């Protein structure tokens, strides 16, 4: 059962190859995680996952997707995260966090409330981006970042990473996917700059590399750094797998330890070929050609399917999202189906 083999990343040992993918809960208050987050993340740690990654957490206030997103740009937020981290760790899972900046996809509604922009009069703000191009007509038009603003973003990631380590997080992930700020710089569809931050491939990847280097510089050598990327925009002329492979190899040299491979989110014109494990081939090719560990995510739902991804060497880690919303104890069910022996909390021992 390869799925239940431990995974070593630098000085951190995951008890298995199952990770909770970061999933926004839209339930924070002024960026502060609430009891909901303790129960949400804690239950998946009890459920047996090896790595529990907290949702896309904003590195500055204007980097939130919505006003209800979590943050880690101040001490009050960090204090609230600490108790959640402690509980996750006591259950044998490794606590991780995804550091994020939404860029032009910021200042939008909570999904179950509505869609599109939240105006400043209603608690929103003017977002920032590489270029003054809105994601879609019902999203806010961002301000294009200048050099000073870009420096602020890099420092915000650096400071957020430092706070995350102080909270006790043992894995840090940089969010450079799903059409958020770092991805916006990567893709020629959203980056129309003509300065040193746009145009050529080397210029478009400059911010992502600078953020990874900044985060790596402030986290301990023994802690792993993950980077989530969208392997393709699913739009002609956009970011694609070939560029993702090249970027991943460079990020390895910058101190990244694993590429968390997703796709899409940059353009409403995307045409995604959905199907079980539809993103796994991207993770496999990046792993093979860039020579870096990868995580696979996307419609991975069955234990035998997840086992095959690891057994075939297509990825080093599988990340589950919606399936773990449906069943927080999926890892325990997978262990039964695959014949693996795993530890069970003493409080639940009578059920096993």
**CA torsion angle 235 312 54 260 (round to 10):** -40
Which is it for strands 171-176 and 143-144: parallel, antiparallel or unpaired?
unpaired
CA distance 182 to 124: 21
Concerning whether 348 is annotated as a catalytic residue, the answer is: no
Contact between 3 and 17 (Cβ < 8 Å): yes
Ramachandran region, residue 24 (left: φ > 0; alpha: ψ -120 to 50; beta: rest) = beta
3-state secondary structure of 8: strand
**pLDDT tier for residue 296 given thresholds of 50, 70 and 90:** very high
62-83: average pLDDT: 98
Predicted TM-score (pTM) of the model is 0.96
* Active-site choice (26, 139, 180, 278): 180
pLDDT at position 346, please?
87
Specify whether the CB–CB gap between 310 and 2 falls below 8 A: yes
Of 159-163, 225-229, 338-342, the least confident: 338-342
> For 65-86, what is the mean pLDDT?
98
Mean pLDDT for the chain overall: 97
Work out the pLDDT band at 344, boundaries 50, 70, 90: confident
- What are phi and psi for residue 47, nearest 5 degrees? -70, -10
**Architecture category of domain 2-351 in CATH:** Alpha-Beta Barrel (3.20)
Label residue 44 by pLDDT band (50, 70, 90): very high
pLDDT recorded at residue 105: 98
Segment 301-328, tens digit of pLDDT: 999 999 999 999 999 999 999 999 999 9
Say if residue 193's pLDDT is above 80: yes
Is residue 35 scored above 80 in pLDDT? Answer: yes
Tokens of 192: 């129309």
Parallel, antiparallel or unpaired: strands 7-9 and 12-14:
antiparallel
How much is the average pLDDT of 178-205? 98
Q: Is the pLDDT of residue 284 over 80?
A: yes
| pLDDT tens digit sequence for 15-34 | 999 999 999 999 999 999 99
At 113 the pLDDT is 93
User: In this predicted structure, what is the pLDDT of residue 246?
Assistant: 98
Residue 352 has pLDDT above 80, yes or no: no
Considering just the CA atoms, what is the radius of gyration of the chain in Å?
19
């Amino acid at each position: 059962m390869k799925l239940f083999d431990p995974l070593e990343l630098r000085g951190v040992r995951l008890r298995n190859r199952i990770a909770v993918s970061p999933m926004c809960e839209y339930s924070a208050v002024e960026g502060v995680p609430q009891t909901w987050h303790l129960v949400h993340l804690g239950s998946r740690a009890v459920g047996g996952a090896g790595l529990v990654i907290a949702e896309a957490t904003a590195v500055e206030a204007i980097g939130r997707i919505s006003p209800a997103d979590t943050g880690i740009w101040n001490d009050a937020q960090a204090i609230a995260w600490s108790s959640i981290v402690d509980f996750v760790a006591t259950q044998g899972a490794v606590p991780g966090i995804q550091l994020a900046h939404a860029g032009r996809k910021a200042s939008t509604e909570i999904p179950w409330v509505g869609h599109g922009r939240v105006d400043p009069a209603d608690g929103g703000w003017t977002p920032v981006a590489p270029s003054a191009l809105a994601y879609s007509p019902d999203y806010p038009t961002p301000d294009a970042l200048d050099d000073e603003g870009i420096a602020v973003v890099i420092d915000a990631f650096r400071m957020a990473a430092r706070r995350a380590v102080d909270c006790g997080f043992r894995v840090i992930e940089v969010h450079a996917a799903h059409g958020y700020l770092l991805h916006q710089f990567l893709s020629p569809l959203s980056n129309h700059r003509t300065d040193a931050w746009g145009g050529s491939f080397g210029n478009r990847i400059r911010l992502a590399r600078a953020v990874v280097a900044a985060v790596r510089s402030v986290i301990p050598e023994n802690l792993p750094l993950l980077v989530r990327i969208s392997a393709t925009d699913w739009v002609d002329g956009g970011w694609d797998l070939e560029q993702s492979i090249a970027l991943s190899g460079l990020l390895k040299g910058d101190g990244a330890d694993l590429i968390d491979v997703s796709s899409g989110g940059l353009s409403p014109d995307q045409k995604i070929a959905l199907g079980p494990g539809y993103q796994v081939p991207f993770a496999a090719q990046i792993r093979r050609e860039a020579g870096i560990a990868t995580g696979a995510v996307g419609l991975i739902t069955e234990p035998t399917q997840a086992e095959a991804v690891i057994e075939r060497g297509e990825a080093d880690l599988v990340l589950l999202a919606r399936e773990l919303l449906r069943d927080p104890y999926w890892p325990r069910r997978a262990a039964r189906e695959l014949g693996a022996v795993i530890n069970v909390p003493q409080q639940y021992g009578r059920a096993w």
